[in-house]
Amino acid sequence: MISHYKYKKKVYFSKMHGLKNDFMVIDCINQNFCPSSLIIKELSNRYTGIGFDQLLIVEKTENPLYDFNYRIFNSNGNEVEQCGNGARCFGLFVILKKLTNKKRILVKTKTRSLIIELMSNNMIKVNMKEPNFQIHNLYLSENVEYKNFSIKLLNKSLICSIVSIGNPHCVIKVQSINNAPVNIISHQIKKNKVFSHGINIGFMEIINKNYIKLRVHERDVGETQSCGSGACAAVSIGIAQNILSNIVEVDLLGGKLIIEWEGFGQPLYMTGPAEHVYDGYIYI
């Protein structure tokens, strides 16, 4: 009898999460794995696969300035530019797997570089670089400004703000995240021709200048338990508009992050936990 696995490759992985935003992380330095859209969709299935919001890939870099390449794929197989919660898990992963002995690493993503630093108790601090508010040439089909952007939605004008944290975000201020029609608004925004490349949508409830609540509907994924880059986006918008202080606690469905930003011309920092759940392998 021919083994079911005879012509398949064994791929080792780790399951991790950052505030319940979960990931499959694969070391592509010590093993070969070629991510295809079909394979990623199969692996991300929570009933028949591993199940995850994003797949994270650790790669060697040819550039001596960087320690690693950091690649991110959404569960539908699309490669994306950024994932803040994933960055923290990436940092913990390369340390746990002894791919580095550094507590502070520089990694290259699709659109920018990140500095990831291991603090105490699996807390990870990430230098997310300066938020980019001039992103119309990168993501939008129209020239808009973050301070005053209005789109037609269900015969009403919806005011939102946009920013890039390496990936595009639309931030909407709401009175209550519990009562906000997150899925309805998100699906309507996704249909808008302005967002020609898709966008992550954050719903921000401001409790005070140092504390906000946030729900995020991620591009290609749907609403997740937390979104690190979404937290950075919401806080950067609030600081740019002078309605938040320079250090903000962000309360997401999956837990809390601390976001720090001194304003224009300065990098933004995100601090939060990363958790290793288990190691495994799968035949692909």
Catalytically annotated residues: 83, 227
Residue 134 assigned as binding residue: no
Specify whether the CB–CB gap between 169 and 149 falls below 8 A. Answer: no
Beta-strand relationship, 149-153 and 123-127: unpaired
DSSP code, position 238? H
Residue type, 31: Q
Residue 36 assigned as binding residue: no
In order of 2, 60, 83, 106, 253, the CA distances from 221 in angstroms are 38, 27, 12, 27, 16
Q: C-alpha angle with apex 200: 195 to 203, nearest 5 degrees?
A: 115
Q: Which residue has the tokens 């870099």?
A: 61
Residue 198 assigned as binding residue: no
Q: Which residue has the tokens 């937390």?
A: 226
Residue 54 assigned as binding residue: yes
Residue 76 assigned as binding residue: no
Backbone angles phi, psi at 34, to 5 degrees: -110, 105
Residue 79 assigned as binding residue: no
How many CB atoms are located within 10 Å of the residue 249 CB? 16
Residue 200 assigned as binding residue: yes
Residue 228 assigned as binding residue: yes
- In the chain the first and final C-alpha atoms are separated, in Å, by 20
Residue 155 assigned as binding residue: no
Residue 266 assigned as binding residue: no
Residue 219 assigned as binding residue: yes
Coil, helix or strand at residue 34: coil
Which residues are part of a known binding site for substrate? 21, 54, 74, 84-85, 167, 200, 218-219, 228-229
Which residues are part of a known binding site? 21, 54, 74, 84-85, 167, 200, 218-219, 228-229
